[in-house]
Amino acid sequence: MFKVLLVDDEEWVVQSLKHSINWEQFGFQIIGEANSADEALEFIETNKPHLVITDIKMPGMNGLELIKKVISKDSSVQFVVASGHAEFVYAQKALRYGAIGYCLKPFEEHEIGECLVKARLNIEARSKKDDTEFIDLLFGQSEPDYDKVKDILHSEGMHTDRNEMAVIQVLDNKLFPIERAVPYCSFKTGPRKIVYVINQSDFMAFMETVKSFPHSGVGYSTNIKLQDLKEAVQAANISSFHPFATGSNGCYQLVSASKDLRSYLSAMADAMVKKDLKLIDHAFEELTHCFATGQYTIKDAYFVYCQIMYYANDRLSMQMDVDIDNFEQLSAIFMNVNEMLADLGRQINQFILSFTQAAHVEIEHQTIREIAKYANENFYKDINLNGISKLFYVTPNYVSHLFKKEMGINFTEYISKLRIDYAGTLLQSSDLTIQQVSEKSGFNDYFYFTRIFKKVTGLTPSEFRKKNK
C-alpha cells in the first residue's frame, strides 16, 4: 500500500476526504492527518508518505509553500491540491510547482479516484526507474557511488552509520510483494530475483514475513556496513541459489567450503585419460557425496561443471561447447547439482563407449541449419545447448562441434549475438527500462546482461541508449 497524508486546517474537510473513497481499492493507505502546513512538513520528513493531499489556504505556511519546500528536497513525493472554486487560480499555480492534480470541494469520488490513479502510476514508474538507478550506482562502475546510494537508503528509512543493515534476496518464479511492515529498499535484478535492504534491527521480523511466502530460495547477509553493501548483495545472491547445491529449499547465509574440490577433479581428469569408466563413475560419486554435506555453494557447482567440461575436451577430445556462462544459467538448466553431475557423467560415458565401438553418428549440415533457424526464432527464450540437443535428438558435443564448423561461431556466441542485437534495437526504439530490455532479450540477470552488452558493444546499455536515441 502507498502512504497518504491529509492536510487541512478544517477537521471536517479531513474527515470528508477520509470517508469519500475506498482508499485501499486504489492501493493507498492513510497514515496521517495534519491541520497545518508546518505540522505536515514535520510529518513528511519523518514518515515519508508517497502522496500528500493538501489545502492551499491555511494559517501560517500555506499549501503552495509546503509543496515548494517538500519537492525541492524530495521530488518523489506526489501532491494533490484540495481547493474550492474561488481558489482555482492557486490550484493552477500549484500544478506549476509540481502538484499532479487538484480536487474541488465538496469532493466527488471520481475526481479523487482519477488523482489517485495518476499518483499511483507516477509512483510505480518512479519505483522502476529508481531500481535501475540504484543498481547502476552500486554495480555500474568500478567504485560504487556510496554517497548517492546512502541518500536513496536514507529516503527509505535505512540506517547506514554502523553495521545496521541486512540484505535479503528472494528467488522464485513468482515474486510476491511484501507489505511495508518495516522500512526497506528493494530492487529487482531479474525475473526471478528481488533484493531487500533492511535495518538490521528488523531482520528477524522481516525474515518471518519472507518465510510465509512460497520461494525457491532465500539468501541473506547481516550486520552490513554501507561500504560492504555491494559484496553483501553478491553474497546474498549466491546464498539464494544454495538449494541447488543442497537439494532442498530454505534460507541460507553464504558458507565457505571446508575442503578444496580440486583433488576430486584431478582424480576425474586422471580417470578420463585412462578412459576407465569405473574410475570415472567413482569420481562422480565422490563429488556427489561432497555436495551432499551442504558445505559447498552453487559457485562451487559451476566451477566443477566448467572443470569437467574442460577435462572432457582436453583429455577426451569431446569438443563439448561450454554454453553456460554463470551459475544462474546452470540453475536454469539443471534442477540441482546431482542432476548436473548425472548428466555430465552420462555424456562422458556415452562418448567413451561410442568411441571405443567406433560408432560415431554423422549429422547432416541441414540439421545445423535447422538449429540456427530455431535459434533465430527463439533466442529470447531460455535456450541452451542441452535443450537443443534433446529437441533435435543429437548429443551436445556433436552439436557444438558441427555448429561451429558450419556457422563459424559456437552456439553460445551465436545466441548471445542475437540477444545483444535485439537489445540494441529495443534500447533505440522503445522506452522500456533497461531491466525490461534485459528480460525481453532473453537475459535472466541484469548484471550479466550489462556486462555482456558492454563487452560486445563497448558501451553500457545506458550509454548506448543516450548515444543512439
Is 138 a member of any domain? no
**Does residue 420 lie in a domain region?**
yes
Look at residue 185 and tell me if it is in a domain.
yes
Q: Are 322 and 414 in the same domain? A: no
**pLDDT per position in the chain (469 positions), as tens?**
789 999 998 888 888 888 888 888 888 889 999 999 999 999 998 888 999 999 888 888 888 889 888 888 877 789 998 877 556 677 777 777 788 888 877 777 888 888 888 888 777 766 655 567 788 888 876 688 888 899 888 888 888 887 889 999 998 866 666 766 788 888 888 778 889 999 999 999 899 888 877 788 899 999 999 999 999 999 999 999 999 998 888 888 887 666 788 899 999 999 998 888 889 989 999 999 999 888 899 999 999 999 999 999 888 888 777 678 889 889 888 989 999 999 899 888 878 766 544 333 343 567 777 888 888 888 888 888 888 877 877 777 777 777 777 777 888 888 888 899 888 888 887 878 888 888 888 887 888 888 888 888 888 888 888 887 6
Last residue of a domain, one of 207, 236, 252: 252
Residue pair 296/245 in contact (Cβ under 8 Å)? The answer is yes
Is 221 in the same domain as 155? yes
CATH number at residue 169: 3.30.70
**Among all chains, which residue has been given the C-alpha cell 585419460?**
273
177 lies in the same domain as 95: no
Local structure of 156: helix, strand or coil: coil
Q: What is the DSSP letter of 254?
A: -
Q: What gap in Å lies between CA 92 and CA 72, rounded to an integer?
A: 18
Q: Are residues 326 and 374 in the same domain?
A: no
- Domain contains 343: yes
Same domain, 326 and 278: yes
Report the C-alpha gap between 71 and 48 in whole angstroms: 12
On whether both 106 and 218 belong to a single domain, the answer is no
Q: What is the per-residue pLDDT for 88?
A: 66
Domain extent for 214: 146-252
Same domain flag for 19 and 118:
yes
CA gap 126, 123 in Å, rounded: 5
Q: Do 301 and 388 sit in the same domain of this protein?
A: no
pLDDT of residue 272: 92
Residue 204 sits in the same domain as residue 286: no
Residues 271 and 309 in one domain: yes
Residue 288 within any structural domain of the chain: yes
> In this structure, what CATH number is given to the domain that contains residue 469?
1.10.10.60
CA-angle at 99, arms to 93 and 104, nearest 5°: 75
Residue that is last in its domain, among 252, 282, 304: 252
User: Among residues 304, 325, 360, which one ends one of the domains?
Assistant: 360
With the CA atoms of 10, 15, 21 and 26 taken in that order, what torsion angle do they form, in degrees rounded to the nearest 10? 80
Q: Which of 12, 13, 68, 15 lies closest to 37 in space, CA to CA?
A: 68
* Nine-digit cell string for 342: 548425472
Give CA torsion, residues 123, 125, 129, 134, to 10 deg. 40
In three-state secondary structure terms, 30 is strand
**Residue 139: inside a domain, yes or no?**
no
Angle at which helices 277-292 and 337-356 cross, to 10°? 180
Domain count within the chain: 4
